[in-house]
Amino acid sequence: MSQRTRIKICGLTREQDVDAAVAAGADAVGFVFYAASPRAVTLARAAELARRLPPFVTPVGLFVNATAGEIAQACRAIPTLLLQFHGDETPQDCDAARRPYLRAARMAPGFDLLNFAARYPSAQALLLDAHVEGYGGGGKVFDWSLIPPNVPRPVVLSGGLNPANVTEGVLALRPWAVDVSSGVEIAKGVKDADAIRRFCDAVREADARLATPPPR
């Protein structure tokens, strides 16, 4: 039986974008707590936006080399927050929060994802993004052939996804989840409700195709 691919819309900054993600059927929405990002939000703003979420839609906080105090403060402000570490955090840094977390992996030729996964045994999933200068994937698609088979963690496919290519990504890789930010934007930090809907529809189309048995 084919699994349903979960969907995360990241980099939300506006009420209408949170509402659009929920209406389109997203499973999670991401708030960026990294001041250097054009999609950064304050903790107070993220908490305000998170209060719009209905049950079973998960708020995710994206951190880059944040202090333990900053992470703890975010968890107090948004009690259901799932953590996503995108910087140089060690396994000890990630575990110190004592909360479920995703660990971002920056995919590039020669990167040993299996070794990386072994170093972060507590991670609920590995979020695979493109390796670019700085932090984050820069809206770039990485070479999907770099992903080895049998990764021992659920995989969240990220990096340059959009409504036009996400079906191919799901069909080719069958990830646990997909994550999109710039691929559904009209400007940095400003989402397009129609693009969000088309992205979610494209993921569901891929799932439907995977669930349909081949002709005999």
Catalytic (active-site) positions? 10, 129
Query: Is the separation of the CB atoms in 159 and 86 below 8 Å?
Result: no
Q: In the structure encoding, which two tokens stand for residue 31, read together? A: 């708030």
Q: Which residues contact 99 (CB under 8 A, 6 or more apart)?
A: 75, 81, 82, 83
Burial 103-137 (b: 16+ CB within 10 A, else e): bbbbbeeeeebeebbeebeebbbbbbbbbeeebbb
Q: How far is CA 99 from the centre of its chain?
A: 17
Pick the closest to residue 5 from 143, 190, 161, 195 (CA basis): 161
Q: In the structure encoding, which two tokens stand for residue 45, read together? A: 């703003």
CA pair distance 21, 193, nearest whole angstrom: 7
CA pair distance 23, 198, nearest whole angstrom: 12
CA pair distance 47, 40, nearest whole angstrom: 13
Dmax (CA) of the chain: 58
